[in-house]
A and B are shown apart, each in its own frame.
Chain A
Amino acid sequence: MDLQGFGHLLISGAWITIQLAVCSLFVGLLFGIIGASAKLSSSKTANLLGNSYTLFVRGMPELLLVLTIYFGSSAVLMAIASLFGYDEYIELSPFVAGVTALSIAFGAYATEVFRSAMQEIPKGQREAAVALGMSRFQTFRRITLPQVWRLALPGLGNLFLVLLKDTALVSVIGLNELMRQASVAVGNTKEPFTFYFAAAMVYLLMTSISMAGLHLLERKANQGYQGARS
């Protein structure tokens, strides 16, 4: 495959793709934990908020979410800023808009993963923690969260692979990630198949490496439980 000197463009794009995926992963995990706590909380308002978050975001195409956040955020941010007396024009950069959209989408699915993982933890453990005088936050941090990690890992791994592929959508709003750099190369060389195929191979490489990494993480997380299996 002759890349006609555009290989470095693809590599720089891949680096942005990785940054985008990792940033969205961390923010998305945060959204997921907050969402799951809201769904399992005893407060009706929190339940309603958590449920409508997952319902709306999971029913909406990711592309639409990316477009809404990129083109719609200015109006919302400026309205909020004008409340504080700031009247300049505000616009999100494609990277920030991309991270926001992808982490909202990831968070909605992660909410479900965390919720089912939290429900797996025997109730007696939480009762024991309460009996020892831990506060609700302490119980969450010391008892629930470390165990949720192991239970949620397979589900989160799948979501990360989905996230990695969804980063391509951010090219639509003009971020110079892998997909867009491939399009730039296509525009210069008029060889669409070569460059889109090369980019596809880079994505394939990234998903393969992530899959191997996830496998290792899962093995590590289950180390203490090896003996419990059959």
Chain B
Amino acid sequence: MSWEWDVILEHYPRLLQGAWLTLELVLFSGFVGLMLAIPLALMRVSDRPWIQAIPFAYIFFFRGTPLLIQIFLIYYGASQFSIIKESALWPILREPYWCAIITFALHTAAYIAELLRGAIQSIPKGEIEAARALGMSYPLMLRRIILPRAFGIMMPSYGNEVILMLKGSALASTITLLDLTGMARTIIARTYTPLEIFLAAGVIYLIISALLILLFRILEKRFNRHQHWPNERPKDLDPQH
């Protein structure tokens, strides 16, 4: 067995090019997914069973089936219906790039919605009551109290979810996209050095996840900065203690 460093050196600019697409897919779909997850999670914590049922079915489907099948359902499946083929959506659903973004966003939204639901339900009741006592309307309370607090609580697990999405984004290579994995596969098809190139790609994934972990540490500090207040905090302010 021979190990060829030259192949890695020669092809690493192309791998980085692929890494760029991977990063773009993760960040773009992560943002859209987060936006989708907020209404889903809010419906999920509703008191009314019929409002709860919609996000429940959605979350059940997207968490219970493999991402690979979801991406194929959208990329290949959409072409089965002539209504879609003739509609204005077709130029978008024809492109593997948009199919990947749509699938990843829908997929990650289901997972984030579950995290967000848990976070919303674990906000101390006193904080909501205090907001209500101050006369805040529901949208104002959502914007000032519930969502910022929920983001702070779920930030560590949200970081994990983004890492999982980074790893899931490798599936974009199955619908012909040249992300990091796709790029590695095309290089290998020409050079036939699978171990070298796949391991080089693996190291790049590792570096990206290390950077994401760092980013989320910073975000977590920012969202929970009330807990890191440098000065002595008043001790008996919270009536729940």
Return the contact of B73 from the options A67, A71, A200, A208 (Cβ within 8 A).
Answer: A200
Return the contact of A60 from the options B77, B79, B202 (Cβ within 8 A).
Answer: B202
Judging by beta carbons under 8 Å apart, are A204 and B61 in contact?
Answer: yes
| Nearest CB on B from A88, distance (A) | 15
Judging by beta carbons under 8 Å apart, are A204 and B65 in contact?
Answer: yes
A72 at the interface (CB under 8 A from B): yes
B195 and chain A: residue at smallest CB distance: A72
- Number of A residues whose C-beta is below 8 Å from B? 40
Residues of A within 8 A of B53 (CB): none
A134 at the interface (CB under 8 A from B): no
Interface locus among A124-132, A191-199, A217-225: A191-199
A105 and chain B: residue at smallest CB distance: B167
Interface centre among B76, B181, B206 (most CB of A within 10 A): B76
Considering the chains assembled together, what is the distance between the CA atoms of A208 and B64 in angstroms? Answer: 8
Residues of B within 8 A of A122 (CB): none
A153 at the interface (CB under 8 A from B): no
| Nearest CB on B from A59, distance (A) | 4
Given A191-B80, A197-B73, the answer on whether A64 and B170 have CB atoms closer than 8 Å is yes
| Nearest CB on B from A97, distance (A) | 12
Within 8 A of A (CB), among B52-91: 60-61, 64-70, 72-73, 76-81
A195 and chain B: residue at smallest CB distance: B77
Residues of A within 8 A of B171 (CB): 63, 169
Judging by beta carbons under 8 Å apart, are A68 and B194 in contact?
Answer: yes
| Nearest CB on B from A58, distance (A) | 8
A165 at the interface (CB under 8 A from B): yes
Judging by beta carbons under 8 Å apart, are B198 and A59 in contact?
Answer: no
Residues of B within 8 A of A196 (CB): 69, 72-73, 76-77
Residues of B within 8 A of A171 (CB): 68
Given A169-B68, A179-B68, A203-B64, the answer on whether A71 and B198 have CB atoms closer than 8 Å is yes
Digitize B104-146: 1 where CB-to-A-CB distance is under 8 Å, 0 elsewhere. Answer: 0000000000000000000000000000000000000000000
Given A56-B206, A59-B206, A197-B73, the answer on whether A192 and B79 have CB atoms closer than 8 Å is yes
A55 at the interface (CB under 8 A from B): yes
Interface centre among B66, B171, B209 (most CB of A within 10 A): B66
Interface locus among A29-37, A75-83, A138-146: A75-83
Judging by beta carbons under 8 Å apart, are B167 and A60 in contact?
Answer: yes
Return the contact of B181 from the options A59, A64, A167 (Cβ within 8 A).
Answer: A64
Considering the chains assembled together, what is the distance between the CA atoms of A200 and B171 in angstroms? Answer: 16
B210 and chain A: residue at smallest CB distance: A59
Return the contact of A72 from the options B68, B72, B194 (Cβ within 8 A).
Answer: B194
Return the contact of A168 from the options B68, B76, B195, B205 (Cβ within 8 A).
Answer: B68
Residues of A within 8 A of B185 (CB): 67
Within 8 A of B (CB), among A162-188: 165-169, 171-172, 179, 182-183, 186
Within 8 A of A (CB), among B190-207: 194-195, 198-199, 201-202, 205-206
Judging by beta carbons under 8 Å apart, are A63 and B181 in contact?
Answer: yes
Judging by beta carbons under 8 Å apart, are B1 and A64 in contact?
Answer: no
Judging by beta carbons under 8 Å apart, are A200 and B81 in contact?
Answer: no
Return the contact of A71 from the options B1, B66, B188 (Cβ within 8 A).
Answer: B188
Within 8 A of A (CB), among B138-166: 163, 166
Given A68-B199, A193-B78, A200-B73, the answer on whether A61 and B167 have CB atoms closer than 8 Å is yes
Interface centre among B69, B81, B205 (most CB of A within 10 A): B69
Residues of B within 8 A of A207 (CB): 64-65
Within 8 A of B (CB), among A21-57: 55-56
Considering the chains assembled together, what is the distance between the CA atoms of A194 and B173 in angstroms? Answer: 23
B102 at the interface (CB under 8 A from A): no
Q: Across the A-B interface, give the 10 residue pairs with the lowest CB-CB distance, nearest first.
A: A79-B1, A61-B170, A193-B77, A168-B66, A192-B76, A71-B194, A59-B206, A61-B167, A72-B195, A165-B66
For the complex with contacts A59-B209, A165-B66, A192-B76, 13 further pairs of A-B residues with Cβ separation under 8 Å are A60-B206, A61-B168, A61-B181, A64-B184, A64-B205, A72-B198, A75-B194, A75-B195, A165-B67, A172-B174, A197-B73, A197-B77, A204-B64
Q: List 8 A-B contacts (CB under 8 A).
A: A171-B68, A193-B76, A193-B77, A193-B78, A196-B73, A196-B77, A200-B73, A204-B60
